[in-house]
């Protein structure tokens, strides 16, 4: 089985310092490291490889200093790594980055059976690259994965997955490759590579490709949808416990506290094609005055 993992070098959240007077982020204090969710995605790929066999290709889009995350991937057990970069990539948004990754994966004779991405990065946390990459490659996708177990049925690989939903709900799925998964950082605990593996990774030569030279690459048109208004250190939020209705039974009151008071909210699962889902979403928003 061929597996690809998309990685990103991102600042460690504990190293981010915001000047309380100027409101500016001190970028010189940043400690760059492998994004936490991407590390869990790599660990999931390695565990899957250990059970079913195959090879792992780790990719990143970034300047020369981002090769550190690829060396971490080699030390952890990736079979090959590659860095994509061009000077213009410093201004690329998530859609163009996903287009570059898609073009690189299409350059091989066949697409990987599984592609792992982190659900979101610690800096911008848009959560866009993984779903956009699946759309460019025409692959089904499952996002927010917090549980993964490989199964074998009739000689083919199946994945039993758990994904995180809103309000603490969970969804369990059975999926069959080819597939793209975005992984939440609570999925697993990434391994610590051995010292010999680290030393070998430091001596490895990292392959570098120019995404503009890839035949199927085209810059995606991206609107400037984000405007930074203010930057400040987050304040801790008080934990509020909902007070349940006193007329409920003790069991129902405990349930209301555990679910955060959302037990009575109605939910509805909508199924259908992408066009049908889009129409239903527009109708839902219009009924509530959002459109």
Give the separation between CA 72 and CA 76, rounded to whole angstroms. Answer: 6
Q: What pLDDT does 232 receive?
A: 67
Q: What does the domain layout of the chain look like in residue ranges?
A: 2-213, 250-287
The 10s digit of each residue's pLDDT in 142-171 is 999 999 999 987 778 999 999 988 878 889
Alpha carbon 160 to chain centroid distance? Answer: 18
Lowest mean pLDDT among 25-29, 86-90, 153-157, 185-189: 25-29
**Helix, strand, or coil (residue 146):** strand
Average pLDDT for 60-83: 94
The 10s digit of each residue's pLDDT in 188-219 is 999 999 999 999 999 999 999 999 888 778 77
For residue 184, pLDDT beyond 90: yes
Looking at the DSSP assignment, which residues form a beta bridge with residue 117? 6, 182
Q: What pLDDT does 254 receive?
A: 80
Q: What pLDDT does 191 receive?
A: 92
- pLDDT, averaged across the chain: 86
Q: What pLDDT does 126 receive?
A: 83
CATH of span 2-213: 3.40.50.620
Q: Report percent pLDDT > 90 for the chain.
A: 51
Burial class (CB in 10 A: 0-12, 13-18, 19+), 213: exposed
CA distances from 268 to 145, 265, 284 (A): 21, 10, 11
For residue 14, pLDDT beyond 80: no
Give the separation between CA 187 and CA 82, rounded to whole angstroms. Answer: 25
Beta strands at 2-7 and 55-61: parallel, antiparallel or unpaired: parallel
């Amino acid at each position: 089985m061929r597996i690809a993992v998309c990685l990103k070098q991102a600042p460690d959240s504990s190293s981010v310092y915001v000047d309380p007077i100027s409101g500016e982020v001190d970028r010189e204090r940043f400690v760059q490291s492998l994004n936490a969710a991407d590390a869990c995605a790599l660990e999931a790929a390695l565990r899957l490889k250990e059970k079913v066999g195959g090879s792992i290709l780790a990719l990143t889009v970034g300047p020369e200093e981002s090769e550190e995350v690829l060396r971490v991937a080699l030390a952890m057990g990736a079979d090959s790594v590659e860095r994509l970069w061009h000077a213009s990539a410093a201004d690329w948004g998530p859609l163009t980055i996903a287009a570059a990754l898609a073009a690189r994966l299409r350059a091989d004779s066949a697409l990987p059976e599984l592609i792992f991405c982190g659900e979101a990065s610690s800096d911008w946390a848009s959560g866009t690259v993984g779903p956009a990459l699946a759309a460019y490659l025409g692959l089904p996708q499952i996002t927010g994965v917090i549980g993964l177990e490989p199964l074998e049925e009739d000689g083919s690989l199946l994945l039993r997955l758990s994904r995180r939903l809103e309000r603490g709900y969970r969804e369990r799925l059975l999926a069959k490759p080819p597939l793209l998964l975005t992984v939440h950082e609570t999925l697993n605990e990434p391994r610590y590579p051995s010292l010999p593996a680290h030393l070998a990774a430091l001596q490895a030569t990292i392959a570098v490709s120019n995404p503009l030279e890839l035949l199927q690459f085209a810059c995606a048109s991206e609107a400037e949808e984000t405007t930074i208004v203010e930057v400040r250190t987050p304040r801790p939020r008080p934990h509020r416990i909902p007070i349940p209705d006193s007329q409920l039974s003790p069991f129902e009151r405990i349930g209301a506290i555990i679910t955060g008071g959302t037990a009575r909210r109605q939910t509805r699962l909508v199924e259908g094609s992408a066009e049908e889902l889009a129409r239903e979403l527009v109708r839902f928003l219009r009924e509530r005055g959002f459109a």
